[in-house]
């Protein structure tokens, strides 16, 4: 083995020294070679520290393999031998249109993110061979500048930062370290299944590349670093999009400045905006068509898998993919809202009644309640302070309520009469009064707005 490839604790010490102030070091621990080596290294480092962070191994049991329980037991035994605390999370992998590998990864990442607390640092054991495979996969899938950078050595993860201290070392260096320290690990039989793209590259393609170009790992890693440097410079030169929000708080970007740019720059700015929110990128062809329709004055919708982009007015907004909800139905007398109740409405938010105080509100007699309904078309309301009733559709349009919210605005009825449009308007009624009475109530709606933190 090339001595430059040798993996020693001293090789990682400078990077780990910077992370000593962290409260905890959380390691994603599968029990395989890579994470076993990193666990051993991190534990050795912590034992050498006067005031080390708490090292915690996290094993996520996906339950996808017959050996899953045996692997969990192995992880418990390894951690017990090192006297390192182990947290086990068992998850259900829901593919939902994704491959099993991607769905398992998402479930694993989600389980880890839920454990994070302020001051934590997260460690993954990806190495140089993983990096080469990632670059090749992305190249074959038509990735651009950002994708061909490969995996960064550090990046935001949940509320904290993920670190990959082994990216500079090839797998054979980890294997040699494990043999030298007589470490035991588990082998996942699915890693030899070449029907998976990554395994095909690992077992069929990379060995051929290495025969012809022995330094393929190092050169690919160097290219990735150069691309990352170029991307960072480009990001600094790109104009920053102007942030906008809808009246309900949906995050978006201003459209006029985007449309003033050349098409190639529009693509880069839009991608950079999405990447800044840690969102998966839409495919190139649908994105180009979306931008074309925007430039033509249309109001297109771009489905990006777990979210969508939609134009409204002079903005492009990032929205969730909504499941069919109760707002698709008519007035349901069974859904009642009384003082003290809190209705949790998927895709809508939380709805309750609060004392109106000195402001206007709905007068409810003891034991009375409101009934929840949804827009069906034809509803009318005369807002307090206005002359004449108007169609609800027109009121919502005038108030710049985005179209994706209009069918999700709760309508509140009393004895069949529309008395309030969520917390937007009270409708003139004998039961809507100026306030000041302890039995006068106003709707309080906490909207379920999709934000960058979702």
Q: What is the rounded distance in angstroms from the CA atom of residue 376 to the CA atom of residue 391? A: 12
The 8-class DSSP code of residue 242 comes to P
Helices (H), 263-386: 263-275, 284-295
Q: 437 phi and psi, to 5 degrees?
A: -105, 145
State the residue for tokens 């962290």.
22
Do residues 383 and 425 touch, judged by C-beta distance below 8 A? Answer: yes
Question: Tokens for 422?
Answer: 């969520």
Q: What is the rounded distance in angstroms from the CA atom of residue 442 to the CA atom of residue 47? A: 60
Question: Tokens for 76?
Answer: 């418990």
Q: What is the rounded distance in angstroms from the CA atom of residue 60 to the CA atom of residue 157? A: 17
CA 451 → CA 244, 248, 279, 444, 447, distances in Å? 12, 11, 11, 20, 11
Any binding-site annotation on 34?
Answer: yes
Question: Tokens for 121?
Answer: 């640092």
- Reading across the β-sheet that carries 336-337, which strands appear in turn? 336-337, 370-373, 411-414, 417-421, 425-426
Any binding-site annotation on 159?
Answer: no
Any binding-site annotation on 99?
Answer: no
Closest CA to 306 of 322, 321, 286, 324: 321
145-148-149 Cα angle (round to 5) = 90
Closest CA to 243 of 59, 451, 28: 451
Do residues 86 and 75 touch, judged by C-beta distance below 8 A? Answer: yes
Any binding-site annotation on 48?
Answer: no
Q: Which residues have a Cβ under 8 Å from the Cβ of 150 and sit 6 or more positions away?
A: 131, 134, 135, 138, 220, 221, 224
- Identify the H or E element spanning 345: strand 342-345
Question: Tokens for 158?
Answer: 């949940």
Any binding-site annotation on 33?
Answer: yes
Helices (H), 320-430: 392-398, 403-406
Any binding-site annotation on 423?
Answer: no
Binding site residues, as ranges?
Answer: 30-35
Binding site residues for ATP, as ranges?
Answer: 30-35
């Amino acid at each position: 083995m090339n001595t430059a490839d040798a993996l020693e604790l001293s090789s990682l010490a400078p990077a780990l020294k910077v992370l000593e102030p962290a409260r905890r070091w959380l390691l994603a621990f599968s029990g395989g070679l890579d994470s076993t080596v990193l666990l051993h290294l991190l534990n050795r480092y912590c034992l050498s520290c006067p005031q080390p962070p708490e090292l915690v191994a996290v094993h996520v049991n996906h339950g996808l393999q017959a050996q899953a329980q045996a692997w969990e037991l192995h992880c418990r035994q390894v951690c017990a031998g090192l006297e390192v605390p182990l947290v086990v999370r068992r998850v259900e992998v829901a593919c939902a249109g994704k491959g099993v590998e991607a769905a398992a990864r998402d479930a694993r990442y989600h389980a880890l993110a839920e454990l994070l607390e302020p001051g934590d640092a997260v460690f993954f054991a990806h190495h140089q061979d993983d990096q080469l495979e990632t670059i090749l996969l992305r190249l074959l899938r038509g990735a651009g500048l950002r994708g061909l950078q490969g995996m960064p050595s550090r990046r935001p993860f949940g509320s904290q930062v993920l670190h990959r201290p082994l990216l500079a070392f090839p797998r054979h260096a980890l294997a040699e370290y494990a043999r030298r320290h007589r470490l035991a690990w588990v082998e996942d039989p699915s890693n030899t299944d070449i029907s998976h793209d990554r395994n095909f590259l690992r077992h069929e393609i990379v060995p051929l590349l290495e025969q012809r170009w022995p330094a393929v790992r190092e050169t690919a890693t160097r290219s990735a670093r150069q691309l990352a440097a170029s991307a960072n410079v480009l990001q600094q030169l790109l104009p920053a999009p102007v942030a906008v929000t809808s009246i309900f708080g949906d995050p978006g970007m201003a459209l006029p400045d985007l449309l003033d740019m050349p098409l190639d720059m529009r693509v880069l700015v839009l991608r950079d905006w999405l990447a800044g929110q840690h969102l998966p990128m839409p495919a190139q062809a649908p994105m180009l068509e979306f931008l074309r329709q925007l430039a033509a004055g249309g109001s297109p919708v771009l489905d990006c898998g777990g979210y969508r982009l939609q134009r409204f007015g002079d903005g492009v907004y990032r929205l969730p993919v909504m499941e069919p909800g109760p707002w698709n139905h008519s007035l349901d007398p069974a859904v009642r809202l009384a003082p003290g109740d809190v209705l949790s409405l998927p895709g809508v938010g939380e709805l309750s009644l609060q004392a109106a105080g000195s402001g206007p509100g709905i007068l409810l007699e003891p034991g009375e309640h409101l009934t929840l309904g949804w827009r069906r078309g034809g509803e009318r309301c005369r807002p307090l302070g206005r002359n004449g009733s108007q169609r609800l559709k027109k009121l919502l349009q005038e108030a710049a309520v985005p179209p994706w919210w209009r069918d999700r605005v709760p309508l509140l009825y009393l004895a069949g009469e529309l008395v309030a449009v969520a917390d937007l308007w009270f409708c003139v009624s004998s039961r809507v009064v100026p306030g000041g009475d302890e039995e006068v109530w106003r709707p309080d709606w906490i909207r379920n707005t999709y934000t960058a933190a979702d």
